[in-house]
Amino acid sequence: MNFEQHLQSRLAQQKAANWYRQRNTIAHQTSLGQQLVDHTMPVVNFCSNDYLGLSVHPKVKAAAGQALHEFGVGSGASHLVSGHSHYHHTLEQALAQMTGRARALLLSTGYMANVGLITALAGKTQHILCDKLNHASIIDACQLAAAKNGVKQFIRYRHCDLAHLEQLLQKAPPHSLVVSDGVFSMDGNCAPLGSIAALCQKYHAVFVVDDAHGFGCLGDQGAGSVQAAGLSERDVPVYMGTLGKAVGGFGAFIAGSEALIETLIQFARPYIYTTALPPAVAAANLQSLQLIAHSKTLRAALNSNIAIFTTRIAAHCQHSAHWQQVTLLPSQTAIQPIILGCEKTTMSVAQSLMDAGFWVGAIRPPTVPKGTARLRITLSASHSASQIEALIAALDHALVQTMTPPASHNDE
Ligand SMILES: *Cc1c(COP(=O)(O)O)cnc(C)c1O
Q: Could you give the CA distance from residue 304 to residue 51 in angstroms, rounded to a whole number?
A: 12
Cis peptide before 366 (omega within 30 of 0): yes
Residue among 127, 135, 213, 383 flagged as catalytic:
213
Q: Is 15 a catalytic residue?
A: no
Question: Topology of 22-51+296-402 in CATH?
Answer: Aspartate Aminotransferase, domain 1 (3.90.1150)
Q: How many CA atoms lie within 13 A of 219 on its CB side?
A: 26
What's the 3-state SS for 280-326? Answer: HHHHHHHHHHHHHHHCHHHHHHHHHHHHHHHHHHHHHHHHCHHHCCC
Residue nearest (by alpha carbon) to ligand 1 atom 14? 212
Question: For the ranges 75-79, 205-209, 406-410, which has the lowest average pLDDT?
Answer: 406-410
The response to whether residue 229 sits with its C-beta less than 6 Å from ligand 1 reads no
pTM of the model: 0.94
pLDDT at 139 over 90: yes
Q: Is 132 a catalytic residue?
A: no
Please write the tens of the pLDDT for every residue from 268-292: 999 999 999 999 999 999 999 999 9
Pocket test for ligand 1, best of 185, 186, 363, 378 (most atoms within 8 A of CB): 185
Q: By percentage, how much of the chain surpasses pLDDT 70?
A: 94
Backbone angles phi, psi at 73, to 5 degrees: -85, -60
| CA 125–ligand 1 middle distance (angstroms) | 27
Q: By percentage, how much of the chain surpasses pLDDT 90?
A: 81
pLDDT at 295 over 50: yes
Domain 58-294 classified CATH 3.40.50.300? no
pLDDT at 39 over 90: no
pLDDT score of 410: 47
> Which one, of 185, 114, 215, lies nearest residue 367 by Cα?
185
Q: Is 213 a catalytic residue?
A: yes
Q: Which atom of ligand 1 is nearest to the CA of 244?
A: 7
Residue nearest (by alpha carbon) to ligand 1 atom 3? 110
Q: Could you give the CA distance from residue 109 to residue 73 in angstroms, rounded to a whole number?
A: 17
pLDDT score of 318: 79
The response to whether residue 182 sits with its C-beta less than 6 Å from ligand 1 reads no
| CA 50–ligand 1 middle distance (angstroms) | 13
Question: For the ranges 37-41, 230-234, 263-267, 327-331, which has the lowest average pLDDT?
Answer: 37-41
Give the Å distances, CA to CA, from 325 to 340, 343, 350.
7, 14, 16
* Band (18; pLDDT cuts 50, 70, 90): confident
Average pLDDT over residues 369-389: 95
Pocket test for ligand 1, best of 135, 238, 243 (most atoms within 8 A of CB): 135
Residue among 75, 185, 225, 380 flagged as catalytic:
185
Please write the tens of the pLDDT for every residue from 301-314: 999 999 999 999 98
The response to whether residue 156 sits with its C-beta less than 6 Å from ligand 1 reads no
Residue nearest (by alpha carbon) to ligand 1 atom 4? 110
The response to whether residue 109 sits with its C-beta less than 6 Å from ligand 1 reads yes
pLDDT, the chain, mean? 93
What is the residue extent of each domain of the chain? Answer: 22-51+296-402, 58-294
